[in-house]
Structure 1
Amino acid sequence: MNKNFLRRVLSLSLVASISFIANAQQKPNWQNLDLKTDSVFGISTEKAYKELLKGKKSVPVIVAVLDGGVDLNHEDLKRVIWTNKKEIAGNGIDDDKNGYVDDVHGWNFLGGPKGSVEFEVLELTRLVRRDAARFANVTASTVAPKDKDAYDTFIKNRTELEKELGTAKSNLAGISGFKNALDAVVKKIGKENPTLDDFKNFKPQTPLDGRIKEAILDNLKGDDFKDFYESQIAEGYKYYYNQVNYNYNLDYDPRSIVGDDPNNSKERFYGNNDIKGPDALHGSHVSGIIAADRTNNIGIKGVADNVLIMGVRNTPNGDERDKDVANAIRYAADNGAKVINMSFGKAYSWDKAAVDEAVKYAVSKDVLLVHAAGNENQDIDVEKNFPTNKYLDGGVASSWITVGASGPLDGDQLKAPFSNYGKTSVDVFAPGVSIKSTVPDNNQYKEEDGTSMAAPVVSGLAALIRSYYPKLTAVQVKEIIMKSVVKVNHNVSNMKGADTVSIPFADLCVTGGIVNAYNALKLAATYK
């Protein structure tokens, strides 16, 4: 699913205190800066361009962004969007005979003749819906012995769904109450965008007004109220609203929009060519981190300077379907992508075998797959997280990198508090906190947090290496990235339940370090 949502633990009961975690203002482009010279734990990209790449030749590398959509007209992306030169735009003909009509800049596996899927249920919801039909007239005492394991799994999943839906409803009620009360206070202040002083000078008329004032004074600080309201209150409300009405809703099924058979994982040719879709914020942000135009002196700078972004829509606001993931990977591999960025994930899988087959196919085509570790602060050596590089048949994808998220400061807060980790399941960490990048419509930019932001830093690095050292294989590029990390030889803070514990950073991932472009390119130069 798109993990680009409110990752704060909001205690939104109006009796409780409200606690927001505001992003600290960071240096622009910090993910590309250098720890020694810039005092932020970036990946030394700018240093690499200045000292290692100046005057060197490169070749263009196609990076497929498997996501929710890409704004191909953004000022900082339009020059780096991939174009399928074998396809004639808008003629309604599959000119290159690849099975996808007018796929000029990529493909949308969430689309159909009349539009595109925006919201979806979670995989857990789909599994419960499927099994509720299967076990409609079955009880624990009447289930056939051969079906007992499946029935027990259904009961477990249904219980989990009911629990999560209940939590979502409670959170929605809490944030709705806070939002309504805050709206009333703002109306009493009489300004659409009140300042911190306006709240300080506000005279509460009720005890509730007083609690709202106190919460805002504690959290607004020097921020613009309108921005604060949109990012904290409105986004939180939208997130829980979507959970209740879409993600956990057994009666919601938008797949008829696509017009395929969602249960047939072998079906390949469906969708439309709208790579932007109804919500391209997440995918556009990811794309900018990888490849935002480094030559135009506006906006931001992507990691890679000679990349073409292929947009492949497979991720709705909800959980991606395994069928779409598999087809998106195959499409990218068949159409020339050498790096695939996958900033999505989920805790359940409908048809892992189909995804495994697609991953094996991409690996056979010398593609490097980069996957975000996830944002639940879980140890994914223990907790399930899909897709994964581990095949059902026991093998492991050789050209796959899983990425955790780090922050800008080299101290005990280096691990992003939300980032998943795993000593054997996560390969590397990369910057994923307060990352400014491109967002859709009107050439806008925004800071976002997540392993969704860390993965494209690594995808950009992989593309940079493949661009300047095109003879290297995907497996070699992975090896270079992992061998060239900056090792972190100290402990970091991590939440375990309600407690903060101190653990060695080396225990968070295979390499025990943060990726580094400068080191990686120096190492790449030694490969023959």
Structure 2
Amino acid sequence: MNKNNFLKSLLTVAAIGAMPFLGMAQQRPNWQNLDLKTDTIFGISTDKAYKELLKGKKSTKVIVAVNDGGVEAQHEDLKRIMWVNTKEVAGNGVDDDKNGYIDDINGWNFIGGPKESVNFETLELTRLVRRDQARFANTTDANVAEKDKKDFDTFKARRADLEKQLGEAKANLSGITGFKNALDNLVKKMGKENPTAEDFANYKPTTEIEGRLQAALAEPLKQMSFKDFYEDQIVEGFDYYSRQANYNLNLDYNPRSIVGDDPNNSKEKFYGNNDVAGPDAMHGSHVAGIIAADRTNQLGIMGVADNVAIMGVRCTPNGDERDKDVANAIRYAVDNGAKVINMSFGKPYTWDKAVVNEAMKYAVSKDVLIVQAAGNENKDIDTENNFPNHKDLDAKTIASWITIGASGPKDDETLKASFSNFGKTQVDVFAPGVQIYSTVPGSKYKYLDGTSMASPVVAGLAGLIRSYYPKLTAAQVKEIIVKSVVKVNHNVEYKKGEGDDAPKVSVPFSDLCISGGIVNAYNALKLAATYK
């Protein structure tokens, strides 16, 4: 999930001179489906493909699994396109289809239990440190056994990383809390719930802090309302760093008892519940809408694919997903008919990579295409860890697994999304992932950034290809998507390193991914038509 760069840059009120506001890309619903030549926006030409290539053409329904944090099945723009397990009788408490999952009508939740579902979870780093802290409780550099020295060194490095991240989270939480409190007081004095940029400009500061706040709000309020700024930036930032400090990086927090399984037994498969939304369906619902939001109902948005069914498979909490759940989610999707699986998640540490690799191989053996987000840390994942990855997998598996970076709307040096990971050997293609408008809980819609948004653009395209050309294999669909990109023949810029003073570098776009381009639905469907 995208860690908002704005939040990382927030300063404390005491130190702030001007808010380090990064700005927003121009918000335009559906831009990911537009055409570069016709619309001068670097979308994937979906609308053009429907008008010129697919009109009157028959298709076959394809199941696309959204392995994510939850999908709101009753959303106005999703309810018609949700997968329904017709072999199961809803609400009867019986495993009618005998697949091991009771009442799995729209999918399954691998992080749910008999009474509730996991919402917040630790990072994998936290879990690894907790495990090894018990193992090395009485170990020092002086008494460590030679056979344990490598593991002990790894533990110390991870513990230092955890302590560093926790310290930063607490500092950021303190900073944004101070900013929020000062801003709340200022707005209360102004006497308006949603003050305008003009209101702030006309206000006469009575303290130095008020003057700094006035300056800080000048730029953001040119681009959005105060209400939107406050909710999307301040409240989101406060919640984000609160989650980090209190849950994600907290060694004493462990919610797994909610599920009731043995989290260390990766062979265990039958646990969870049938609540595919869970306590927070924001991310998964947004992903689902990008893939296939109803194109016929004149509501909200239109997904990339027009004849797919969305299967919700909940495996990612607000924190890091567990490898056991990821593997089981893949197997569930495969066994229940999915032909494309979208995985908009990733993490820098892994507990049991082997069990995920085996699930990936199983998906490939059943002709299922895996679509994965590259991650949002602006890192080269050729050299930096990002799991799952295919660095130690066979060529056959890699042929049915495609990794996606995120691009923006302009065909210039800003084309690479500032947050997007990249990799000349690990990332296959890029797709729109900046300010993507899609479905969120409550039958509402929202703009979000991330490779989490770029991945479902490609999953939607894969579903579109498989529905109109059902004889194509998963490997062929990936090959078509990669071969049909719009090549980018210019340099792009990105910050090398973290912080406001990190230098910008300019590199050929072809250095960022295998294909050297942005996916294109029109080109892909034309190419698909040539395959026998």
Question: TM-score interval w.r.t. the shorter chain?
Answer: over 0.9
Residue 499 (structure 1) aligns with: 503
Matches within 5 A, 1:275-294: 275-294=276-295
Q: Deviations over 1:98-141 (max 9, x none)?
A: 00000010000010001000000000000000000000011111
How far apart in 1 are the matches of 2:76 and 2:3?
A: 22
Residue 238 (structure 2) aligns with: 237
Letter in 1 for 2:511: D
Residue 450 (structure 1) aligns with: 450
Matches within 5 A, 1:333-352: 333-352=334-353
Letter in 2 for 1:90: G
Task: Report if the CA contact (8 A) 2:430-2:513 is conserved.
Answer: yes
Measured at CA, do residues 8 and 485 of structure 1 come closer, stay the same or move farther in structure 2, by a change above 3 Å?
farther
Measured at CA, do residues 420 and 161 of structure 1 come closer, stay the same or move farther in structure 2, by a change above 3 Å?
same
Residue 53 (structure 1) aligns with: 54
Residue 185 (structure 1) aligns with: 186
Normalised TM-score (structure 1): 0.98
Residue 297 (structure 1) aligns with: 298
How far apart in 1 are the matches of 2:507 and 2:472?
A: 36
Task: Report if the CA contact (8 A) 1:6-1:239 is conserved.
Answer: no
Segment of structure 1 superposing worse, 221-230 or 507-516:
221-230
| 1:3 aligned onto 2:7 | no
| 1:95 aligned onto 2:99 | no
Q: CA deviation at 1:5?
A: 4.9
Name the Cα RMSD after superposition.
1.2
Matches within 5 A, 1:404-483: 404-441=405-442, 443-483=443-483
Q: Deviations over 1:206-237 (max 9, x none)?
A: 11111111111132214211111000111011
Matches within 5 A, 1:67-86: 67-86=68-87
Segment of structure 1 superposing worse, 135-144 or 106-115:
135-144
Q: CA deviation at 1:11?
A: 3.1
| 1:367 aligned onto 2:371 | no
Task: Report if the CA contact (8 A) 2:360-2:397 is conserved.
Answer: no
Residue 12 (structure 1) aligns with: 11
Q: CA deviation at 1:395?
A: 7.7
Instruction: Specify every segment of 5 or more residues in structure 1 that has no aligned partner in the other structure, as ranges.
Output: none
Residue 520 (structure 1) aligns with: 524
Residue aligned with 2:494, SS: strand
Letter in 1 for 2:452: S
How far apart in 2 are the matches of 1:389 and 1:338?
A: 19
Identity across matched positions, percent = 71
Letter in 2 for 1:413: T
Letter in 1 for 2:449: D
Letter in 1 for 2:509: F
Q: CA deviation at 1:429?
A: 0.1
Residue aligned with 2:9, SS: coil
Q: CA deviation at 1:393?
A: 7.8
Matches within 5 A, 1:305-320: 305-320=306-321
Task: Report if the CA contact (8 A) 2:196-2:221 is conserved.
Answer: no
Q: Deviations over 1:411-436 (max 9, x none)?
A: 00000000000000000000000100
Residue aligned with 1:282, SS: helix
| 1:28 aligned onto 2:29 | yes
| 1:167 aligned onto 2:168 | yes
| 1:508 aligned onto 2:512 | yes
Residue aligned with 2:383, SS: coil
Q: CA deviation at 1:24?
A: 2.5
Normalised TM-score (structure 2): 0.97
Task: Report if the CA contact (8 A) 2:5-2:419 is conserved.
Answer: no
How far apart in 2 are the matches of 1:368 and 1:228?
A: 38
Task: Report if the CA contact (8 A) 2:428-2:482 is conserved.
Answer: yes
Instruction: Specify every segment of 5 or more residues in structure 2 that has no aligned partner in the other structure, as ranges.
Output: none
Q: Deviations over 1:279-307 (max 9, x none)?
A: 00000000000000001111100000001
| 1:104 aligned onto 2:105 | yes
Alignment size in residue pairs:
526
Q: CA deviation at 1:3?
A: 3.3
Matches within 5 A, 1:35-46: 35-46=36-47
Measured at CA, do residues 209 and 379 of structure 1 come closer, stay the same or move farther in structure 2, by a change above 3 Å?
same
Q: CA deviation at 1:22?
A: 2.7
Letter in 1 for 2:193: E
Q: Deviations over 1:459-518 (max 9, x none)?
A: 000000000000000000000000000000000011112001110000000000000000
How far apart in 2 are the matches of 1:140 and 1:455?
A: 44
Residue aligned with 1:111, SS: coil
Measured at CA, do residues 517 and 466 of structure 1 come closer, stay the same or move farther in structure 2, by a change above 3 Å?
same
Residue 113 (structure 1) aligns with: 114
How far apart in 1 are the matches of 2:368 and 2:273?
A: 24
Residue aligned with 2:356, SS: helix
